[in-house]
Structure 1
Amino acid sequence: MSETKKKLLGDPLASNYHLVASANTMETGSLRFMNEKHRNLHGMGWFVTCLFIVGETAGGGLIALPSALSNAGIFSGLLIVAVVAAACMYTGMQLSDNWAILQQRWPEYREHCRKPYPAMGNRSLGPGFGKFVSFCLDLTCFGTACVFLLLAAKNIESFLIAWGGVEIGFCQILIYVSICVLPVTMLKSPKDFWWAVMLAMVTTTIAVSLIIYGSIEDYPTCSRHISYPEFSMEKTFMSFGTVVFAYGGHGAFPTIQHDMREPYKFGKACTLAFVLICVMYLPVSLTGYFTYGGSLMDTIIPSLQNANLQMAVNCLITLHVILALTIMFNPINQSFEELMKVPHDFCWQRVAARTFVMACVVFAAESVPNFGPLLDLVGGSTITLMALIFPCVFNLCLCAGKEKYKGEEASKDEEPVSLSDILEYTPKKKLLINLLVLLMAVIGGCAATFSAVDTMMNLEFHPPCYAAWFTGHLPNSQTAHLDNHGKFACCGEHRNISRFGLDYCLNPFEQIGAASHG
């Protein structure tokens, strides 16, 4: 073995990044490895990465899943949940393979990369498609950040009314939340704020336990009066969007993988993460479905008829989405900084760029009337692309290219693979699975998007928060009444069943707008 090769393979202190090669595959005069595995000595381990995925993915969609299951029906709902979960785990593993191939064949991706997901599109289908992927990623993270900000603000508003009799209004709270989150978004990459996502995972785990306990506590009363909505294809497709939103954290996966000590072990971390997420999601969905049925609103939290427990869940989920926002903002920030040519080191340009991005997200959130249909819209459109469609397409292209060129380092003039290359170099079983995932994603995603848009168009109009500057009237969402303190979204067909009597039920007619998602 040559001295150069010994140094590269045996001296990990020479650089933060090094390669692990499988055999004598180095060509004379070049640093080419056929089966190289890239390592980042200061990165995260695979188990920490697994917890990172759970903390980043599970949370916001969790509390909407019981409503999605109720809207779709138990059989079709469980089928959607099972199929989407399996598909998202499969595509998460494909993203792992994609990034490993990029680091193997294109050396520039072994150092810090601001836009790893668009880089996959660039190397799979050309620079033009890479720009399209970048746009979709930014739109996905932007929409998810809006949903999380709205959810956090409305939960904090409910908490303040219930426990302090304070009516600030979620429009103002949105701004306060964004100010609190902004300093953390200044950190460079996921490995710098691992503690935030870890804490988010802990809060979600506790929230899951409390939701299940509260649902079981309400079951004897509510199950006797339970009713379910009539089957509707529109609601079923909207449920698809909700489920994809709950499982589709893929936009941030390449960024997380890039910060791993051994990026090629991301598939292992991803598999365990999705098993843990399913363990969280299924009990909450089933207990919510069999306890509250069609009385569920956008989320399960208002249906819990234990005021202390309801507020505890409110706080935990709010803390989760605030912490998860730190990683949701990272891809948008990195993309915008790349566009504005902001230096990689901390500087005033980074502060200005990321403050501007936060302001844009806040403005969009202040303009949205309901987060339920918005969640379905984001889940059915851009998240479906990022979580199901792009990983399959990129994997087919990158794996075919790797086989075609025998894993060698890519040349500068290498063209993207053709359809005939994909058919020639892809195993038939893998090709069939990918095509089935793509077919499901295209049909379900398009239907969910159209259904969400139709629902948003038919909702009662709620003026944006900033309309008050011109009209002097607060939006309907800010006119919460103090006499709702201690009240619940009661169960039963008419939403009038409570363990404590009718006086503890919110006005059913006031719930219709919030439950329009259902």
Structure 2
Amino acid sequence: MQSQDHGSTPGMTQAKENRAFEFDAASRRSSKCSKSSVDMSRPFFNPTGLNWFVTGLFVVGDLAGGGLVALPTAIIQSEFYPGLIMCSIMIIVVTYTAYVLGLSWNILLDTWPEYRHHCRKPYPEIGARAMGPFVGSLVSACIDVTQFGIAVVYLLLASKNIQNMIMAFWGVNITFCVLVLIVAACLLPITFLKSPQDFWWAVVIAMMTTSAAVIMIIVGSIIDLPTCSPIKQMPPFTITNIFLAMGTFLFSVGGHSAFPTIQHDMKHPKEFTKSVALAFSIMACMYIPVCIMGYVVYGDSLRDSIIPSIQTVWIQQVINILITVHCILTLTIVFNPLNQEVEEFFDVPQKFCIQRVLVRSGIMVAVVFVAESVPTFGPLLDLVGGSTLTLTSVILPCLFFLYLEAHRKKEEQLGLKGTPPVCIKEVWAYNNQTTLVICCTIIVIGLIGGGCATFSAIVELTSTQFNMPCYVAPFLHKSATNTSTAQTNCCGPLQDISIFNNTALCSPTQLNFYN
């Protein structure tokens, strides 16, 4: 006699139930989240959590900053109109992937009770529930590399900005390599805080400083417009520059590794969709005007960052200060998933203790070592954006949502609980066609674009943009940075046009920057 499970035999049904039990037991053993009995009939509510509006500002603070100052360079690399289209498409894509990543975490909250308590690794848990514990471990490794790379980029950017400020105000050129050490030492105590809800104020301030920086960039560009715009030029088109630009775009809008951690600290995680819509709307209003002004005013005289191209020194340095504050405050979020991952590996207690200080200090030392080894801001940003950031922000959110949504619908239709992850055939069977087409298209775009951007960034780092490590250069009698105290990248074909008619204000030229 046939059972009711789609014509399977009683023995097959029992085997399925055994596999489901074994998987659920393994998942419970591997889960890094607290467990206790909870009422699953009610939506999750965290009375001490963040509301959706503050969470949206939190997301903006997590994303906007380092990428903002590099975006105009990406627009120049990609010939403006194609670049503007690419930037707009990327914002739409990552808005959707942030949305489905939020839905994925809500599925976990509604299905498994242990996720309604403090969870150190929400993103890897999404991967584990979607495709199995092994995938969860791979996600952890990917997030570690992503967050580590972002931390290095932000540390480099903050140190470079501080170096420019010191040169502008005091005419002293402090070695960039030394400033990296100083900034890291000052930042370390902030990284000892536990989770985003402990320092939400810091990232909201970071968002406000970025908004002010956008206004100042536009004002400074307008002042330079009459002098620089008539003589601006565009670099020759190369396919490599297009791919590098894509890496910058992905870095600028991708920060999804921290999103589940932020969402987990909300009062109502189901309202994360509102936070996403608010955050990316604000980011579009920030990014697009800055991109347009960079192209219209400066052309190929732009380099890694738009900040040194602003020729009114006091405006330039106000922007420097604002972006530096953003980088330092945002690093409190960037370090958090990495810190918690390593703490979980070493079984560090969740309360403040000496083990936390030692582990997080060790991570900071590792970040500083890489920053001193690869003291190049632009290509490193492109490398992070094209590789692991593409995985965590574009590809994996769609993949995990397809699997979790199919799993949810399968359990609803069959009336089962605790089943193992679905297979690829079930993903196609239980998801609607529109969702499948959108997610698969985004995955393909991420694979092609991210792969090309990663390859181009590696070529750039190892050839045209290679800089000697800080700890090697002194032994070769070479400085890791130039000795000029000029901090303004002047405009024009030869990068020697100043709005003050004083070439002494111009930093050393880099005429082959885009070649």
CA distance in 1, matches of 2:507, 2:61: 35
Q: Distance in 2 between matches of 1:182 and 1:188?
A: 13
In the alignment, what sits opposite 2:243?
237
Quote the Cα distance in structure 1 between the aligned partners of 2:471 and 2:417: 53
* Residue 503 of structure 1 pairs with residue 503 of structure 2: yes
Which residue of structure 2 lines up, in the alignment, with residue 38 of structure 1?
44
Q: Give the one of 322, 331, 334 matched to 1:325.
A: 331
Matched, 1:481 2:484: yes
Query: Deviation at 1:512?
Result: 4.7
Letter in 2 for 1:499: I
Cα pair 1:18 1:38 within 8 Å, conserved: no
The whole-number CA distance in structure 1 between the counterparts of 2:494 and 2:413 is 63
List, as ranges, runs of 4+ consecutive aligned residues in structure 1 with deviation greater than 6 Å.
Answer: 407-410
- 1:258-296: CA deviations, max 9, x gaps? 000001110111111100010011101101111101111
- Select 2:376's aligned residue among 370, 382, 397: 370
Structure 2 residue aligned with 1:306: 312
Shift of 1:476: 2.7
Output the CA distance in 2 between the equivalents of 1:296 and 1:216.
Answer: 15
Q: Is the 8 A contact 2:473 2:480 kept in 1?
A: no
Which residue of 1 is the match for residue 269 of structure 2?
263
1:265-414 matches, within 5 Å, as 265-406=271-412, 411=417, 414=419
How far does the alpha carbon of each residue in 1:212-267 deviate from its partner, in whole angstroms, 9 at most, with x for none?
00111111111110111122211011101101100001111000000000011101
Q: What do residues 103-132 of structure 1 show as CA deviations (whole Å, max 9, x unaligned)? A: 111111110000101111111111111111
Give the secondary structure class of the aligned counterpart of 1:495: coil
C-alpha deviation, 1:506, in angstroms: 2.5
| 2:390 maps to amino acid | T
Once the two structures are TM-superposed, the CA of residue 149 in structure 1 deviates from its matched residue by 0.3
Structure 2 residue 490 is matched with structure 1 residue 463:
no
1:83 maps to 2:86:
no
Structure 1 position 462, deviation (Å): 2.4
Structure 1 pair 31/49, CA: closer, same or farther in 2 (3 Å)? closer
Runs of 5+ consecutive residues of structure 2 not aligned to the other structure: 1-33
Deviation at 1:30, TM superposition (A): 10
Task: Give the corresponding residue for 2:78.
Answer: 72
Instruction: Tell me what 1:23 maps to.
Output: none
Q: Shift of residue 166 of structure 1?
A: 2.6
- Please report the RMSD computed on the Cα atoms of aligned residues, expressed in angstroms: 2.1
2:181 paired with 1:213: no
Query: In structure 2, how many angstroms separate the alpha carbons of the residues matched to 1:136 and 1:495?
Result: 40
Question: Aligned ranges for residues 108-127 of structure 1 at < 5 Å?
Answer: 108-127=114-133
Aligned to 1:417: 422
Residue 39 (structure 1) shift:
1.4
Q: Which runs of 5+ in 1 are unaligned?
A: 1-16, 20-28
* Residues 421-472 of structure 1 deviation map (CA, whole Å, 9 limit, x = unaligned): 1111111111111111111111100000001111111125422112257x27
Shift of 1:158: 1.1
Q: Which amino acid aligns with 2:479?
A: P
Deviations 1:153-183 (A, max 9, x none): 1111111112112332121111111111111
Match of 2:158 among 149, 152, 161: 152
Using the alignment, how far apart are the partners of 1:418 and 1:352 within structure 2? 42
* 1:251 alignment partner, one of 257, 277, 295: 257
Whole-Å separation in 1 of the counterparts to 2:414 and 2:184: 46
Q: Is structure 2 residue 199 aligned with structure 1 residue 199?
A: no
Which residue identity does 1:379 align to in structure 2? G
Q: Counterpart of 1:501 in 2: which secondary structure? A: coil
1:8: which partner in 2?
Answer: none
How far apart in 2 are the matches of 1:318 and 1:161?
Answer: 15
Cα distance in 2 for partners of 1:491, 1:166 equals 24
Task: For 1:435, give the aligned amino acid.
Answer: C
Match of 2:111 in 1: 105
| 1:496–1:508 Cα contact (<8 Å) kept | no
Tell me what 1:430 maps to.
435
Distance 1:367 1:211 in 2: 31
How much does 1:507 deviate?
A: 5.0
Name the CA shift for 1:127/1:456 in 2 (closer, same or farther; >3 Å).
same
Aligned equivalents of 2:291 and 2:416: distance in 1?
A: 47
Q: Percent identity?
A: 46
User: Given residue 253 of structure 2, which amino acid in structure 1 is its aligned partner?
Assistant: Y
